[in-house]
Structure 1
């Protein structure tokens, strides 16, 4: 499935800014190769199967340089290295102008999609029926690409920014005085259209947040049997009285995923799908002229 039509109007100027950053002055090496027409092959490399993600951004990089991209692998598909993923055609100088910008973006976006799919598949294999989500711990200026990679990988990207959903964390609550008071103040300005996610550290705090009208309860630093017990007790207590979801987050790894991916919680949010992920190795090779 392609998610290109989700992208906001601002995404193409972002690509322009990437190109401007990479060549702020003269293109000295490009002077050497000139404007001869060439064809370049994009290869997906590395040593493990990977998910292709970021093709709209890759195509736009070369479109802005007057080049054409023909894809041989669909976005979202898993390919096994070494794979001829796409062919790019245009002037040699322009192919090289876009090369590193396009490859860097594709490597990270595909890495996030690959990790996201792996984590989701693992959780599903453990019997988890809830939502796997990313976090807002993204790279400034590159969030759109990283959130896009999560979508292609099949997980929920979570909130995109501070305006997407109201999330009250420990600092918000401590600064305002209490969970109930913070929720009341947030509802005053957020209205009915924004979900309210509240971070809590104990069953008592979770109970208070539910009573005050939170939509999502993030059970922070509650793990293992305690997480299961707290979620079960509170769902039983509030059944038929309040609608809410439980979220667990923090210190989640592939090695402990099975203990966290439990169906007593509804959302498992983790930054391991986009922070410090292994990038997918791609290369762009200009083909020699037949002459």
Structure 2
């Protein structure tokens, strides 16, 4: 899924952004700010530099950090989704104006967020580019393997990078994995029990280890079958077989998942595979290096 980056900020509920930022600031400064006392409240400017190539993501959260610390404003030179290339040096990305103590109060939470969000968006953009180069018509998606307390940022960064967020949480889609099946007794029973409470508006996905399990899930009414930990040739054969066997009998999507990375994904771009999901877009993602340098305002 691709969304025009200029519109993405509107997808974020303001109160959720405010709450997330408030929690970060409270965690970072739970009591006294002695460093702020040292520098005082003279008006200064801090320049945001990017020091490594990558995709910018996280502007709404960065802005909210400096809104909450009071008396600061941010002027951006780039927008979310722009590729930043400092070419071995450093690139000015924005300027933050305000009292020195507040600039430093927001510095670390803002930079931590921006570095990680931009890292996620950068990896997502790479995957999207591989998909487009291959001419594959399916969906590249993230997963629910996000950092606790940071999911909103990481899911937003996925969109900035041009990929699908997959399910946001346990409530937005039912995914029945091996533990659900073992605890329930069978795929069929698990799907039917899920449908009895999920209703018509919530999709049900089932993790399957082979075609037989996928057939059982489809017959029970699953909307999506996840072929888990298949290799590239294996998923190509299984997806084609399932689509042919159930043609005209049931509608479903085939998802591939398990250990996928930008280095091994190419064989998975199969015409009968609808979705490829990557835990790697949020796990072990290199951060993009940013710094914030305070400059006294010349009078």
Structure 1 length normalisation: TM-score? 0.97
Report the alpha carbon displacement of residue 123 of structure 1 after superposing the two structures with TM: 2.2
Following the alignment from structure 1 to structure 2, what is the Cα–Cα distance between the partners of residues 28 and 226? Answer: 60
Question: 2:126, 2:262 within 8 Å by CA — same for their partners in 1?
Answer: no
Which of 19, 22, 25 is matched with 1:13 structurally?
A: 19
Deviation at 1:105, TM superposition (A): 0.3
Kindly indicate whether residue 206 of structure 2 is the aligned counterpart of residue 207 of structure 1. Answer: no
Hey, what's the Cα distance between the residues in 1 that align with 2:297 and 2:262? Answer: 47
Q: 1:274, CA displacement in angstroms? A: 1.1
Please tell me whether residue 245 in structure 1 is matched to residue 253 in structure 2.
Answer: yes
Q: Distance between the aligned counterparts of 1:289 and 1:188, measured in 2?
A: 64
Q: Does 1:71 align with 2:76?
A: yes
Which of 143, 157, 163 aligns to 2:165? It is: 157
Give runs of aligned pairs for residues 53-132 of structure 1, distance below 5 A.
Answer: 53-65=57-69, 66-81=71-86, 82-132=90-140
Deviation of the 1:17 alpha carbon = 1.4
Q: Give me the whole-angstrom Cα distance separating, in 2, the residues matched to 1:127 and 1:285.
A: 43
**1:288 positional shift:** 2.9
Query: d(CA) in 2 for partners of 1:224 and 1:156?
Result: 21
Match of 2:147 among 134, 139, 144: 139
Q: Distance in 1 between matches of 2:16 and 2:80?
A: 21
Structure 2 CA distance for aligned equivalents of residues 170 and 126 of structure 1: 32
What are the Cα deviations for residues 192-216 of structure 1, in whole angstroms up to 9, with x where unaligned? Answer: 0001110011111111111111100
State the 1:241 CA deviation.
Answer: 1.6
Q: Residues 216-248 of structure 1: CA distance to partner in whole angstroms, max 9, x if unpaired?
A: 000012223221111111111111221100000
Report the secondary structure of 1:70's partner residue: strand
Is 1:43 the counterpart of 2:37? The answer is: no
Find the counterpart in structure 2 of residue 268 from structure 1. 276
Question: 1: distance between equivalents of 2:32 and 2:236?
Answer: 60
In the alignment, the residues of structure 1 paired with residue 149 and residue 281 of structure 2 have an alpha-carbon distance, to the nearest angstrom, of 18
The verdict on how the C-alpha distance between 1:289 and 1:10 changes in structure 2, with shifts beyond 3 A counting, is closer
Structure 1: 4+ residue segments shifted above 4 A: none
Residue 128 of structure 1, CA deviation: 1.7
- After superposition, the CA RMSD in angstroms is 1.1
Distance in 1 (alpha carbons) for counterparts of 2:128 and 2:258 = 16
Unaligned runs of 5+ in 1: none
Q: SS of the counterpart of 2:261?
A: coil
Instruction: Please give the alpha-carbon distance, in whole angstroms, between the structure 1 residues aligned to 2:94 and 2:32.
Output: 28
Unmatched 5+ stretches in structure 2: none
